[in-house]
Structure 1
């Protein structure tokens, strides 16, 4: 995206390139490039360039200097709280598949229904756990009524008040007097996310939804293991 944004920058600044002159003559004409939208019969490549232009629109307004791929990449990359994924996903006490699912959750890459709809794999975006809301990462962990009940059971079991959002970031930030306690809680959170996602997949494939109490029993067995 940062590389293609270089072409976006050329078009904005009317760089001395034959292709840029052609784009202005054929597509943009007397319109403002920053607000330009392609027509439905435009080529795939041109529509992609326009999509990336919309992503970098704010940078185009701000940057008065020369554009570089590096500056575009640094502007595009997220600048939120840094999570030590090595400490999280490679916790030696954690069951590997639990850690992997949590790593994917942390990056928002699970194939939830909202993503599958955008990918045109399915037409339904309904949550398989509650059948009442759009299924997304934010909903499943832990705004969904089913997963919220699971979280409440786990909180009572661990005597920890787990947040309904950003469990991973909460765990990374929280300070424990005992490293053992911190590792155990990491196993609990990773296991909870894994079992919620596994339960969702079973409900999707087999139309079978286990009770939150049963999920807690499976989680307790895994953590003790």
Structure 2
């Protein structure tokens, strides 16, 4: 059986690969439909990484911090209307819901409120270039919402949705010359 014993990598194949090591340590890598949505994009690496964490639902939102017994208050710092969960923060929160239409208007297309990875695969009418710009803008929005949440939680200052979308739009226009 292939595996790591002592200081030796024992395997059927001659070449050691990281993928073989991960396959041996756990289950083999499973391709997920949203991987291309998150990683094959024109977004900044930090935005892709936060997007990846969101898709895995492993950001340290307040509900997770409470389960770890780090905090007791689970109210969303952006709207204070519901417990802060991934679903709430990135789709149900009034703050997030204000950001998406502003970004949609800026991009001149309709963006989904939920089901972003499914939306990506259904977009046949847009050119590949526009799809990548849209995905980069969505990942920038996810990152901006997370940044705003952290800024509000730590500094007590909530950025207006118009402000964060304007920053995303400025960056998008500078990068894509639209």
Normalising by the smaller structure, the TM-score range is: 0.7 to 0.9
Kindly indicate whether structure 1 or structure 2 has the higher relative contact order, using CA contacts under 8 Å at least 6 residues apart: 2
Please provide the CA RMSD for this pair.
2.1
Q: Give the unaligned 5+ runs of structure 2.
A: 1-26
- Provide Cα deviations, 1:174-205, integer angstroms capped at 9, x if missing partner: 22441101110110110010000000000010
Which of 35, 38, 47 is equivalent to 1:89?
Answer: 38
The alpha carbon displacement at 1:109 in A equals 0.6
Kindly indicate whether the alpha-carbon contact (under 8 Å) linking 1:127 and 1:133 is maintained by their aligned counterparts in 2: yes
Q: In the aligned structure 2, how far is the partner of 1:108 from the partner of 1:82?
A: 14
Q: In the aligned structure 2, how far is the partner of 1:125 from the partner of 1:195?
A: 20
Which of 158, 166, 173 is equivalent to 2:107?
Answer: 158
TM-score, length basis structure 2: 0.76
Runs of 4+ in 1 over 6 A off after TM superposition: none
Kindly indicate whether the alpha-carbon contact (under 8 Å) linking 1:113 and 1:124 is maintained by their aligned counterparts in 2: yes
* More helix as a share of residues: 1
Alignment of 1:176-187 (within 5 A): 176-187=125-136
Instruction: Report the count of equivalent residues.
Output: 147
Query: Does 1:102 pair with 2:51?
Result: yes
Q: In the aligned structure 1, how far is the partner of 2:113 from the partner of 2:38?
A: 20
Q: In the aligned structure 2, how far is the partner of 1:128 from the partner of 1:156?
A: 26
Q: In the aligned structure 2, how far is the partner of 1:166 from the partner of 1:177?
A: 18
Q: Give the unaligned 5+ runs of structure 1.
A: 1-72
Alignment of 1:70-85 (within 5 A): 82-85=32-35
Q: Cα gap change, 1:172/1:110 in structure 2, threshold over 3 Å: closer, same or farther?
A: farther
Query: Does 1:202 pair with 2:119?
Result: no
The alpha carbon displacement at 1:84 in A equals 4.4
Kindly indicate whether the alpha-carbon contact (under 8 Å) linking 1:113 and 1:136 is maintained by their aligned counterparts in 2: yes
1:14 is aligned to none
Kindly indicate whether the alpha-carbon contact (under 8 Å) linking 2:41 and 2:135 is maintained by their aligned counterparts in 1: no
Alignment of 1:1-225 (within 5 A): 82-85=32-35, 87-224=36-173, 225=175
The alpha carbon displacement at 1:121 in A equals 0.6
- Provide Cα deviations, 1:107-131, integer angstroms capped at 9, x if missing partner: 1111101111111010010001101
TM-score, length basis structure 1: 0.61
